[in-house]
Structure 1
Amino acid sequence: MRLPIDDILPEVVTAIRTHGRAVLQAPPGAGKTTRVPLALLEAVAGRIIMLEPRRLAARAAAERLAEQMGEAPGQTVGYRMRGATKPGRRIEVVTEGILTRMIQSDPELTGIGAVIFDEFHERSLQADLGLALCLEIRAALRPDLALVAMSATLDAAPVAALMDDAPILTSEGRSFPVEEIWLDRPNKLRLAEATADLIVRASEERDGSILAFLPGAPEIRRTEAALAGRLSGTDIRPLYGGLPFAAQRAAIAPGRRRKVVLATSIAETSLTIEDIRIVVDAGRARRARFDPGSGMSRLVTERVTRAEAIQRAGRAGRVAPGAAYKLWTKGEDGALAAAPPPEIAAADLAPLALDLALWGSADLPFLTAPPEVALGEARALLRDLGALDHADRITDHGRTLAAMPLHPRLAHMLAMGGPSAAPLAALLSDRDPMQGAGSDLALRLKALPKDPAFAAIRTEAKRLAKTAPKAEPLTPAEQAALAYPDRIALRRPGDAPRYLLSGGKGAYLAEDDPLAGQRLLVACDLDGDAREARIRLAAPLSEGALRALYGDRIVWYDVCEWSRREGRVIARRQERFGAITLDDRVWKDAPTEAIARAMLDGVRELGLRLDGPAVLFRARVEAVRAAGKPLPPMDDAHLTETLDDWLLPHLTGVKTAGDWRRFDTAPALRAMLSWDQTQTLDRFAPAQFRTPTGRTVPVDYSGETPAIAVKLQEMFGQSAHPRIAGQPLQITLLSPAGRPLQVTSDLPGFWTGAYVDVRKDMRGRYPKHPWPEDPLAAEPTLRVKRRG
Structure 2
Amino acid sequence: MAFTLPIDDVMPQVIDALRDQGRVVLQAPPGAGKTTRVPLAMLDAGLTNGRILMLEPRRLAARAAAERMAATLGEEPGQTVGFRVRGASAVSKSTRIEVVTEGILTRMLQDDPDLPSVGAVIFDEFHERSLNADLGLALCLEVAEALRDDLLIVAMSATLDAAPVAALMQAPVVTSEGRSFPVTPHWLDRPEGKQRFEQAVADLVLHALDTAPGSALVFLPGEGEIRRVESALAGRLPTDCTLAPLFGAMDFKAQRAAIAPAKTGRKVVLATSIAETSLTIEGVQIVVDGGRARRAQFDPSSGMSRLITDRVTRAEATQRAGRAGRVSEGAAFKLWTRGEEGALAAYPPAEIEAGDLCAFALELAVWGAQADDLKFVTPPHAGRLAEAQAVLHMLGALDATGRITEHGRSLAKMPLHPRLAHMVAKGGRSAPTLAAILSERDPLRGGSVDLALRLDAVAGKRVPAEINHAALSRIKQDAKRLARGQTGDGPDTLGVLAALAYPDRVALLRKGDAPRYVMSGGKGAILSESDPLAGERLLVATDLDGDPREARIRQAVLLSDSDLRESFADQIGWHKLCVWSRREGRVLARQQERFGALVLDDRAWSDAPADDIAQAMLAGVRQLGLMPGKAATLFLARARLMGDDFPDFSEDHLLETLEDWLPGHLTGVRSTADWKAFDLLPALTARLSWDDQQALDRAAPAHFTTPLGRKIAIDYSETQPQIALRLQEVFGTTRHPMIAGQPLQITLLSPAQRPVQVTTDLPGFWAGSYADVRKDMRARYPRHPWPEDPTQADPTLRAKPRGT
What's the counterpart of residue 156 of structure 1?
162
Q: Does 1:509 align with 2:527?
A: yes
| C-alpha distance in 1 between matches for 2:220 and 2:751 | 88
Map 1:381-400; keep pairs closer than 5 Å: 381-400=391-410
Quick one: which amino acid aligns to residue 285 of structure 1?
A
Tell me if the contact between 1:419 and 1:466 (Cα under 8 Å) persists in the aligned partners: no
Q: Does 1:611 align with 2:621?
A: no
Give the SS at the match of 1:625: coil
| C-alpha distance in 2 between matches for 1:473 and 1:745 | 86
Q: Does 1:412 align with 2:422?
A: yes
Tell me if the contact between 1:623 and 1:701 (Cα under 8 Å) persists in the aligned partners: no
Quick one: which amino acid aligns to residue 760 of structure 2?
S
Give the SS at the match of 2:667: coil
Deviations 1:258-298 (A, max 9, x none): 22211111110001112111111111111111122321111
Quick one: which amino acid aligns to residue 391 of structure 1?
T
CA deviation after TM superposition for structure 1 residue 722, in Å: 4.0
Quick one: which amino acid aligns to residue 257 of structure 2?
A
| C-alpha distance in 1 between matches for 2:309 and 2:750 | 77
| C-alpha distance in 2 between matches for 1:290 and 1:564 | 33
Quick one: which amino acid aligns to residue 451 of structure 2?
L
| C-alpha distance in 2 between matches for 1:432 and 1:455 | 12
CA deviation after TM superposition for structure 1 residue 785, in Å: 5.9
What's the counterpart of residue 65 of structure 1?
69
Structure 1 52/694 Cα, relative in aligned 2: closer, same or farther at 3 Å?
same
| C-alpha distance in 2 between matches for 1:550 and 1:460 | 28
CA deviation after TM superposition for structure 1 residue 704, in Å: 5.9
Q: Percent identity?
A: 64
What's the counterpart of residue 421 of structure 1?
431
Q: Does 1:352 align with 2:363?
A: no
1:49 to 53, 56, 65: 53
Deviations 1:44-68 (A, max 9, x none): 3122111110011111111111111
Q: Which moved more, 1:638-647 or 1:327-336?
A: 638-647
Tell me if the contact between 2:361 and 2:388 (Cα under 8 Å) persists in the aligned partners: yes
Q: Does 1:81 align with 2:81?
A: no
What's the counterpart of residue 571 of structure 1?
589
Q: Does 1:698 align with 2:713?
A: yes
| C-alpha distance in 1 between matches for 2:798 and 2:531 | 84
| C-alpha distance in 1 between matches for 2:74 and 2:285 | 28
CA deviation after TM superposition for structure 1 residue 144, in Å: 1.9
Q: Does 1:580 align with 2:598?
A: yes
Map 1:189-200; keep pairs closer than 5 Å: 189-200=195-206
Give the SS at the match of 1:5: helix
What's the counterpart of residue 24 of structure 1?
26
What's the counterpart of residue 369 of structure 2?
361
Deviations 1:19-40 (A, max 9, x none): 3222111110111111111112
Quick one: which amino acid aligns to residue 110 of structure 2?
Q
| C-alpha distance in 2 between matches for 1:551 and 1:435 | 36
1:636 to 644, 651, 657: 651
CA deviation after TM superposition for structure 1 residue 702, in Å: 5.1
Give the SS at the match of 1:467: coil
Map 1:166-315; keep pairs closer than 5 Å: 166-188=171-193, 189-233=195-239, 234-255=241-262, 256-315=264-323
Structure 1 309/774 Cα, relative in aligned 2: closer, same or farther at 3 Å?
same
What's the counterpart of residue 339 of structure 1?
347
Give the SS at the match of 1:57: helix
Quick one: which amino acid aligns to residue 332 of structure 2?
A
Q: Does 1:402 align with 2:406?
A: no
Structure 1 740/214 Cα, relative in aligned 2: closer, same or farther at 3 Å?
farther
| C-alpha distance in 2 between matches for 1:283 and 1:534 | 27
| C-alpha distance in 2 between matches for 1:575 and 1:232 | 68
CA deviation after TM superposition for structure 1 residue 760, in Å: 5.6
Q: Does 1:772 align with 2:790?
A: no
Q: Which moved more, 1:562-571 or 1:697-706?
A: 697-706
Quick one: which amino acid aligns to residue 221 of structure 1?
R
Tell me if the contact between 2:261 and 2:282 (Cα under 8 Å) persists in the aligned partners: yes
CA deviation after TM superposition for structure 1 residue 703, in Å: 5.3
CA deviation after TM superposition for structure 1 residue 717, in Å: 5.2
Quick one: which amino acid aligns to residue 246 of structure 1?
K
Q: Does 1:378 align with 2:388?
A: yes
Tell me if the contact between 1:419 and 1:464 (Cα under 8 Å) persists in the aligned partners: no
Q: Which moved more, 1:255-264 or 1:328-337?
A: 255-264
CA deviation after TM superposition for structure 1 residue 611, in Å: 2.7
Q: Does 1:734 align with 2:736?
A: no
Q: Does 1:481 align with 2:496?
A: no
| C-alpha distance in 2 between matches for 1:775 and 1:620 | 35
CA deviation after TM superposition for structure 1 residue 646, in Å: 2.0
Give the SS at the match of 2:10: helix
CA deviation after TM superposition for structure 1 residue 490, in Å: 0.9
| C-alpha distance in 1 between matches for 2:354 and 2:303 | 12
Tell me if the contact between 1:27 and 1:314 (Cα under 8 Å) persists in the aligned partners: yes
Give the SS at the match of 2:294: strand
> What's the TM-score, normalizing by structure 2?
0.93
Quick one: which amino acid aligns to residue 166 of structure 1?
A
| C-alpha distance in 1 between matches for 2:612 and 2:63 | 66
Structure 1 19/631 Cα, relative in aligned 2: closer, same or farther at 3 Å?
closer
CA deviation after TM superposition for structure 1 residue 413, in Å: 0.5
- Structure 2: give runs of 5+ residues left out of the alignment: 461-466
Deviations 1:640-666 (A, max 9, x none): 222122222212221112222222222
CA deviation after TM superposition for structure 1 residue 608, in Å: 2.6
Quick one: which amino acid aligns to residue 686 of structure 1?
P
What's the counterpart of residue 678 of structure 2?
663
CA deviation after TM superposition for structure 1 residue 229, in Å: 2.2
| C-alpha distance in 1 between matches for 2:203 and 2:516 | 41
What's the counterpart of residue 745 of structure 1?
760
Quick one: which amino acid aligns to residue 271 of structure 2?
A
Tell me if the contact between 1:732 and 1:742 (Cα under 8 Å) persists in the aligned partners: yes
Tell me if the contact between 1:772 and 1:778 (Cα under 8 Å) persists in the aligned partners: no
Deviations 1:300-352 (A, max 9, x none): 22111111110000001111111111111111111111111111122111111
Tell me if the contact between 2:574 and 2:594 (Cα under 8 Å) persists in the aligned partners: yes
| C-alpha distance in 1 between matches for 2:576 and 2:186 | 67
> What's the TM-score, normalizing by structure 1?
0.95
Tell me if the contact between 1:52 and 1:119 (Cα under 8 Å) persists in the aligned partners: yes
| C-alpha distance in 1 between matches for 2:78 and 2:750 | 113
| C-alpha distance in 2 between matches for 1:21 and 1:724 | 83
Q: Does 1:91 align with 2:93?
A: no
Structure 1 726/436 Cα, relative in aligned 2: closer, same or farther at 3 Å?
closer
Q: CA RMSD in A?
A: 2.1
Map 1:501-540; keep pairs closer than 5 Å: 501-540=519-558
CA deviation after TM superposition for structure 1 residue 786, in Å: 4.1
| C-alpha distance in 1 between matches for 2:527 and 2:440 | 21
Tell me if the contact between 1:715 and 1:780 (Cα under 8 Å) persists in the aligned partners: yes
Quick one: which amino acid aligns to residue 541 of structure 1?
L
What's the counterpart of residue 330 of structure 2?
322
CA deviation after TM superposition for structure 1 residue 577, in Å: 0.8
Q: Which moved more, 1:223-232 or 1:374-383?
A: 223-232
| C-alpha distance in 2 between matches for 1:723 and 1:34 | 96
Tell me if the contact between 2:507 and 2:538 (Cα under 8 Å) persists in the aligned partners: yes
Deviations 1:454-480 (A, max 9, x none): 011111111111132342351111111
| C-alpha distance in 1 between matches for 2:555 and 2:798 | 87
| C-alpha distance in 1 between matches for 2:741 and 2:652 | 30
Map 1:541-552; keep pairs closer than 5 Å: 541-552=559-570
Q: Which moved more, 1:113-122 or 1:181-190?
A: 181-190
| C-alpha distance in 1 between matches for 2:444 and 2:742 | 85
Give the SS at the match of 1:623: coil
| C-alpha distance in 2 between matches for 1:691 and 1:775 | 19
